[in-house]
Structure 1
Amino acid sequence: MNSQTRLSRKQLIWILVAIFAFFCFCWIYPFLWMVSASFKTTMEIFQKGLNLIPDRIHFENYWRAWVKGGFSGYFMNSVITTVFTILIVVIRCALAGYVLARYNFRGKTIILSVLIATFLIPVGTTIIPTVELSQKMGLLNSRTGLILAMAGGGQVTSILLYKGFFEQLPESLPEAAVIDGAGFFTVFSRIMLPMTGPVTATVTILTFMTAWNNFMIPLVFTFGTPSLRTLPVGMMAFQGANETDWSGMAAAGTMSLIPIVVCFIVLQKYFVSGIAGAVKG
C-alpha cells in the first residue's frame, strides 16, 4: 500500500511538472518564435507558420537591422536615455522613501494617500501635460527633455519599496552619525543608501524595463528629431506604406530584448531579496 502510495505521489509530481512545463513553454513560445523568425526570410516566416526551426540561418537580417535600419544609433540612444533615467529615479525615489520612512511631519499621511491613489491614474492621461510643460521649458525634441519626462513619473512602487526597506533599519545607525556631526545628505549618501543594494537592484530592473520598452514618450519627444529615437520607436522603420520587413523587425526585436534578459539574469537574486525585504519591512 505504501509503495503504491509513493508511486502515485511520484506520478502526481511528474504530471504537475509536465503541466507546468507545458504552460512555461506556452509563455515563452512567442519569444522563441521571434528569435527563430529573426533568422528566416520574410517568405519563410509565412510559409512555415509556427515552426521554430529555420531552413537556413540568415544572419544578414541582423546586419540589415543594425546598419540599414539604423539600430546602432537607436541602441545607443536607448542606452543613454535608460541609464540616466535609472540614476534619476533611484536617487529621487530613495530620497523620498527615506524621508517618508524616517521622519514624521505634518501631511505625511496625505502624501502617502496621494501616492497610492496615483496607481488608479492611467499613464496615458499624463502625456499631454508632460508635453505642454516640456514645450514651455524648451525641452521638447531634446534628449534632456526625454530623460526628464521618463524619470519624472510617479514611480510610486519604487518609493514604497525604499520606504519599506528604510523602516526596518535600526534607528541607531543614523543617530550615531548625527552625534558625530553628520548632516542629512551625509547620513543618507554614506550610511543609508549603500545599505539598499537589494532594493536598488529591484528598482533598477523595474525602471530599466519601463524606460527601455517605453514607446509613447520617446515617440512624442523625438517626433521632430529622428536621430534621437530609441529602439521601440525605431521599430517603425521596418514598416512601410506597402510592405513590412518582418524578418528585419524580428531581428530588431530580438536585439531589443537581449539587454532586458541579461539585466534580469544578473540581478534576479537581488530582485527577489529586495521585494521580500521591502514587503517584510
Structure 2
Amino acid sequence: MNVSALRRRLGIWAQVAVLAVVCVVWIYPLLWIVSASLKDSLGVFSGGLGLIPGSPHFENYARAWRDADFGLYTVNSVLVTLSTVVLVVLRCALAGYVIARRDFIGRRVVVGVLVATLFAPGGLTIIPVVELSDLLGLLNSRTGIVLALAGGGHVAAVLLYAGYFTRIPRELEEAAIMDGAGFLRTFFRVVLPLAGPVTATVSVMTFLAAWNNFLLPLVFTFSRPDLRTLSVGMLAFRGTNSTDWSGLAAAGTISLIPLLLVFLALQRYFVEGVAGAVKS
C-alpha cells in the first residue's frame, strides 16, 4: 500500500471516529430517557449515567398511558398536529407559488417583511392570538388550537416552496392554461404534485413544531384538561412537592415515538426538499 492510499484511509478512519463520537453525544440523551422510563423514581438518579436498568419497570408506561390519560392526550395531539400540517401545507404552498410566479407590486417588500418576522420571538403574539380566539369563540377548543398553530408566519415553509417552484418549467403551467385550466386547477393538478419533496419537508417541520408546541395548547386548554396535548399532559407528573420522574420519562418516550416514525419515513424527501429549494 502506497503512502497516499494509507493517508486517505487514515483520513476516512478519522472522519468515522469523529462522526461516531458526535453520534453518541447526540443520541445519548434519547437513550437515557428510554432507560429512565424503565427505572423507579429513585433509580433514575441513583443509577447515574448508566443506561441499563437493574429491573425494568414497564408499569411506568401503563401508569403514563392509563392513569395520566396519555391515551386521550395522544389522540388530541394526532388530531391537532395533522390538521395543522394540512392547513400549513396548503397556505404556504399557495403563498410560495404566488411569490415565485407572480410579479406583483410590492413583491420585494412582502418578501422582506416575511424574512423580518423570522427574528420576532414566538411568544410575542400570544396575547393578541388568545384575545382574537376568545372573541371568535374558539378558546378551549381543538379548532382554536389548530388555527393558532397554523396561523403563524411559517416563513421558512413559504420560502422553501417559493424556491422550489422557481425550478418548475413554466411551460407546464402554460400548457395547463391552454387546456382551459384556471389558477387553482393549475396549482393543484400540475404544480403542487411536482413539489412532493418540499411538501414532505414542510410537513416534517410543521409536524415537529406542532407536536412539541407547549405554550399555545397550554393557554387554550386551561379550563378543558380533556383537550390537552402530550406536551401539556406531561404536567400531570409534576406535583406541588414532588415529581414522578420515571413516569415523566415514560411519557416523554411515548411522545417521541411518533416523531421518530414520521422523520424516518420522510427523511429522504426531507433532504431532497431542502436541497432543491436551497439550490434554487
- After TM superposition, is the score higher than 0.5? yes
Structure 2 vs 1, CA of residues 4 and 181 (structure 1 numbering), >3 Å: closer, same or farther?
closer
Q: Which amino acid aligns with 1:154?
A: G
Secondary structure of 1:34's counterpart equals helix
Partner in structure 2 of residue 111 of structure 1: 110
Q: Once the two structures are aligned, what percentage of the paired residues are identical?
A: 57
Q: State the distance in 2 between where 1:266 and 1:47 align.
A: 37
TM-score normalised by the chain length of structure 2:
0.97
How far apart are 1:173 and its partner, in Å?
A: 0.8
Q: Which amino acid aligns with 1:258?
A: I
Partner in structure 2 of residue 14 of structure 1: 13
Deviation string 1:69-96 (CA, Å, 9 cap, x unpaired) is 1100000000000000000000000000
| Residue 236 (1) aligns with residue 205 (2) | no
**Moved segments of 4+, more than 4 Å:** none
Unaligned runs of 5+ in 2: none
Q: State the distance in 1 between where 2:26 and 2:94 align.
A: 37
Partner in structure 1 of residue 220 of structure 2: 221
| Residue 246 (1) aligns with residue 245 (2) | yes
Partner in structure 1 of residue 77 of structure 2: 78
Which residues in structure 2 correspond to 1:126-205 (within 5 Å)? 126-205=125-204
Q: State the distance in 2 between where 1:140 and 1:9 align.
A: 62
How far apart are 1:109 and its partner, in Å?
A: 1.2
How far apart are 1:10 and its partner, in Å?
A: 3.0
How far apart are 1:243 and its partner, in Å?
A: 1.2
Partner in structure 2 of residue 34 of structure 1: 33
Q: How many residues align?
A: 280
TM-score normalised by the chain length of structure 1:
0.97
Deviation string 1:136-158 (CA, Å, 9 cap, x unpaired) is 11111111111000000000000
Deviation string 1:232-261 (CA, Å, 9 cap, x unpaired) is 000000001111111110010001011111
How far apart are 1:5 and its partner, in Å?
A: 4.8
Q: State the distance in 1 between where 2:96 and 2:12 align.
A: 43
Deviates more, 1:170-179 or 1:226-235: 170-179
Q: State the distance in 2 between where 1:278 and 1:152 align.
A: 23
How far apart are 1:3 and its partner, in Å?
A: 3.5
Q: Which amino acid aligns with 1:216?
A: L
Secondary structure of 2:54's counterpart equals coil
Structure 2 vs 1, CA of residues 5 and 280 (structure 1 numbering), >3 Å: closer, same or farther?
closer
Partner in structure 2 of residue 255 of structure 1: 254
Structure 2 vs 1, CA of residues 184 and 251 (structure 1 numbering), >3 Å: closer, same or farther?
same
Q: State the distance in 1 between where 2:44 and 2:268 align.
A: 37
Q: State the distance in 1 between where 2:94 and 2:121 align.
A: 25
Partner in structure 2 of residue 51 of structure 1: 50
Deviation string 1:249-277 (CA, Å, 9 cap, x unpaired) is 00100010111111111100000110111
Partner in structure 1 of residue 59 of structure 2: 60
How far apart are 1:6 and its partner, in Å?
A: 3.7
Aligned-CA RMSD value: 1.2
Unaligned runs of 5+ in 1: none
